[in-house]
């Protein structure tokens, strides 16, 4: 059931997984060959999960994993399938924005199940959080199992047992840009994809929320430009807090990136902490989006409520 507290929608959570459950594998963005799934399927075996490989795996249309109609149909099929308890996106790239407007979000509301992915899937997270009122998971693609470290792999266990995620400096060094304590729903993901929602029906809503940001292969000027666009779109005006994740392959040192973040976030009068290993790195901590979280910038800790029930 969807509850509203103080005008804020409390998102529904999907049922947790149990060993023996079936999950669906789809490619909603760039193309992927069936032969590339070997390590991913082995990892699912380790988790005790069965799987159905979607029709988009092995499909190709230009630079996409099949036509828009094929990717949309594969997603809807997984949502409708009563055996499928979770939908894992196997690759990012580009493509989600092309099908977002045609998705039947009521269908997903009526058949709530775990949705997992990141990067290009940020567009899907925002759309599903908003139009299905459903919590989703920002986590590493199972295609990258070989590159994941052990702590990243363990984060999949939160799908089996409802548990609070607590991120502290035990995982990575954190830097406080602005102090304070905030409580709010988590939203966000890939900066480039967040900016691409502006001016559309899927425009990200940030009021009273804790914004998560990450990206890869963007230069400092490009990151500056995108943050400026968020600022001018007034998406930074009424935040509860900011979680700055991994910005990799920026061709800049950490100090330069931190200075840029300080320019945008230090004077917002909300807690802002940088250094979270959330994004395109070997350590990619999976977090649920759409749930309540507490960001304590003084103690450098992020506590997140369970993303399943």
Catalytic residues: 119, 214, 280
**Contacts with 175 (C-beta within 8 Å, 6 or more apart), sequence order:** 258, 273, 274, 275
Nearest-angstrom CA–CA distance, 268 and 248: 25
For residue 90, what are the contacts with CB-CB under 8 A and spacing of at least 6? 25, 26, 27, 32, 37, 40, 57, 141, 142, 143
C-alpha of 28 from chain center: 14
Give the CA distances from residue 247 to residues 125, 191, 298, in Å, rounded to whole numbers and listed in that order.
Answer: 19, 10, 23
Residue 123: CA count within 13 A, CB half-sphere: 22
> How many CA atoms lie less than 13 Å away from 61 in the CB half-sphere?
14
CB 179 within 8 A of CB 297: yes
Burial of 41: CB neighbours in 10 Å, binned 0-12, 13-18, 19+: middle
Instruction: Indicate the SS3 state at residue 248.
Output: strand
């Amino acid at each position: 059931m969807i509850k509203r507290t103080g005008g804020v929608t409390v998102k529904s959570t999907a049922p947790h997984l149990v060993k023996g459950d079936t999950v669906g594998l789809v490619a909603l963005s760039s193309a992927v060959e069936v032969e590339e799934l070997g390590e991913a399927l082995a990892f699912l075996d380790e988790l005790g999960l069965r799987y159905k490989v979607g029709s988009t795996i092995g499909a190709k249309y230009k630079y996409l994993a099949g036509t828009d109609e094929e990717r949309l149909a594969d997603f809807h099929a997984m949502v409708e399938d009563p055996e499928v308890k979770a939908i894992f996106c196997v690759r990012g790239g580009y493509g989600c924005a092309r099908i977002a407007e045609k998705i039947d979000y009521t269908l997903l509301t009526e058949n709530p199940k775990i949705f997992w992915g990141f990067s290009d899937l940020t567009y899907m997270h925002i759309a599903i959080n908003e139009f299905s009122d459903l919590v989703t998971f920002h986590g590493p693609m199972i295609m990258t199992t070989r590159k994941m470290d052990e702590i990243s792999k363990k984060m999949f266990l939160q799908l089996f047992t409802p548990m609070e995620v607590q991120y502290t400096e035990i995982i990575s060094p954190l830097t406080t840009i602005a102090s304070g304590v905030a409580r709010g729903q988590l939203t966000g993901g890939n900066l480039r994809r967040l900016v691409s929602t502006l001016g559309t029906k899927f425009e990200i809503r940030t009021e009273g929320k804790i914004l998560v940001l990450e990206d890869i292969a963007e230069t400092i000027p490009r990151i500056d430009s995108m943050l400026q666009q968020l600022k001018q779109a007034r998406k930074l005006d009424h935040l509860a807090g900011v979680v700055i994740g991994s910005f990799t392959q920026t061709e800049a040192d950490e100090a330069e990136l931190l200075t840029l973040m300080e320019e945008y976030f230090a004077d917002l009068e909300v807690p802002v902490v940088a250094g979270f290993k959330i994004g395109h790195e070997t350590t990619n901590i999976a977090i649920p989006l759409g749930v309540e979280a507490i960001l304590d910038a003084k103690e450098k800790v992020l506590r997140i409520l369970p993303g399943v029930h």
